[in-house]
Amino acid sequence: MSLISRRKFVYASTLLGVGLKFISPSNIFASKNNSVIRPVVISTWDRDRKPNLKAWEILANGGNSLDAVEQGVRVAEDDPENNSVGYGGLPDENGIVTLDASIMDWKGRAGAVAFLQNIKNPISVARLVMEKTKHVMLAGEGAKRFALAYGFKEENLLTEKSRQAWIKWKESLSKEDNWIGNESHDTITMLAIDKDGNISGACTTSGLRWKIHGRVGDSPIIGAGLYVDNDVGAAGATGVGETIMRTLGSFLIVEKMREGMSPQEACEFAVKRLIEKNKNIIKEPYQAAFIALNKKGEIGAYAVRDGFDYVVSMNGETNGYKSKFEIKE
């Protein structure tokens, strides 16, 4: 099933019993009378609401936003059916699953891992980098050794389903293949504000499928795939990481919110900038999208093109929304 038809199927058969909502006016999430909404969780892609529900459960029980985002995205990492994150993620061109992840909290701390192999929960390794070391990012073999030292188990992350998909791609490989496609972007980026007004964010991915071995995307790059500044808000990304890295979209969104833009306005600004700065570089019909959250609990989302959706938990409800987008085709 193609990603697009699979997503329609997920829409039609969602088991979580929560209402589906479609493109909404951008101000639907603006707070009324300057009031503050807490807690709030927003995450990329409405493929499965369990990550949001996990984060919400933690926040509703008085937990903090850092635990909420870490535990929330771990649900996606553990899910073998999610082929863009953690276990079951589609491999690179050599059939090897390599993972990227980053995390930031309200204290301004950041941790990240890149090109990590055979460790199922990169987000928790990123959190340990943040909490246990003076560094921000560990990569490759060093990141794995660090994880093993903290008791993580080495395991095979390539599921049979992902291996079959890779074999099929190898069989149909052509000269036109360039590692950039418009499908298979299900990176989960999650942003949350807790009852105390503290904001954290997490981003985790197996990156672009069939990428060149060694390729690292935007997800572990602080400011590209994720950025949190507790004075202002947070932003996170999904899509072709190269376009996002060139414009440091998440950092840009937080800075625009600092200047007074709403999360929605800031996401739209960042998508327009991304399109402008990538126009002479990337010709394929790529996808990239941002989500954002501010101190008041207001949120925003915007994509380059149609097809991006996201999940929001607030006021005890978890709903999926179809994002607005820039390029109308």
- The catalytic residues are 187
Bridge partners of 229?
A: 233
Binding mask 168-197 for ligand ASP (x = CB under 6 A): -----------------xxx----------
Nearer to ligand ASP, 223 or 239 (CB): 239
Among 192, 208, 271, 312, binds ligand ASP (CB under 6 A): 208
Q: Taking CB under 6 A as the rule, does residue 309 contact ligand ASP?
A: no
Distance CA 56, CA 152 (A): 26
Closest approach of ligand ASP to the CB of residue 107, in Å: 25
Q: Taking Cα atoms as reference points, which of 260, 194, 151, 177 lies closest to residue 55?
A: 194
The answer to whether residues 116 and 100 touch, using CB atoms and an 8 Å cutoff, is: yes
Does 218 engage in binding with ligand ASP (CB under 6 A)?
Answer: yes
Does 124 participate in binding ligand ASP (rule CB under 6 A)? no
Q: Indicate whether 207 belongs to the interface with ligand ASP (CB under 6 A).
A: yes
- Give the count of beta carbons closer than 10 Å to the beta carbon of residue 227: 29
Task: Pick between residue 200 and residue 243 the one whose CB is nearest to ligand ASP.
Answer: 243
Interaction of residue 323 with ligand ASP, rule CB under 6 A = no
**Nearer to ligand ASP by C-beta: 187 or 278?**
187
223 part of the interface to ligand ASP, by CB under 6 A? no
3-state secondary structure of 237: strand
Q: Which of residues 234-253 bind ligand ASP (CB under 6 A)?
A: 238-241
CB 70 within 8 A of CB 124: yes
Residue 289 C-beta: closest distance to ligand ASP, Å: 8
CA dihedral over 224, 79, 51, 127, signed as positive or negative: negative
Of 65, 205, 313, 323, the one binding ligand ASP (CB under 6 A) is 205
Say if residues 254 and 235 touch (Cβ distance below 8 Å): yes
219 binds ligand ASP (CB under 6 A): yes
* Residues 240 and 263 sit within 8 Å (Cβ to Cβ): no
Q: Examine residue 39 and say whether the peptide bond preceding it is cis (omega within 30 degrees of 0).
A: yes
Of the candidates 326, 327, 309, the one whose C-alpha atom is nearest the C-alpha of residue 24 is 309
Q: Which stretch binds ligand ASP (CB under 6 A): 134-142, 201-209, 251-259, 271-279?
A: 201-209
Q: How far is the CB of 73 from ligand ASP (least distance, A)?
A: 13
Contacts of 88 (CB under 8 A, 6+ apart): 79, 80, 81, 82, 157, 159, 161, 162
Shortest approach of ligand ASP to residue 101 CB, angstroms?
A: 11
**Contact in structure between 229 and 74 (CB atoms under 8 Å):** no
Question: Rule CB under 6 A: which residues touch ligand ASP?
Answer: 84, 185-187, 205, 207-208, 217-219, 238-241
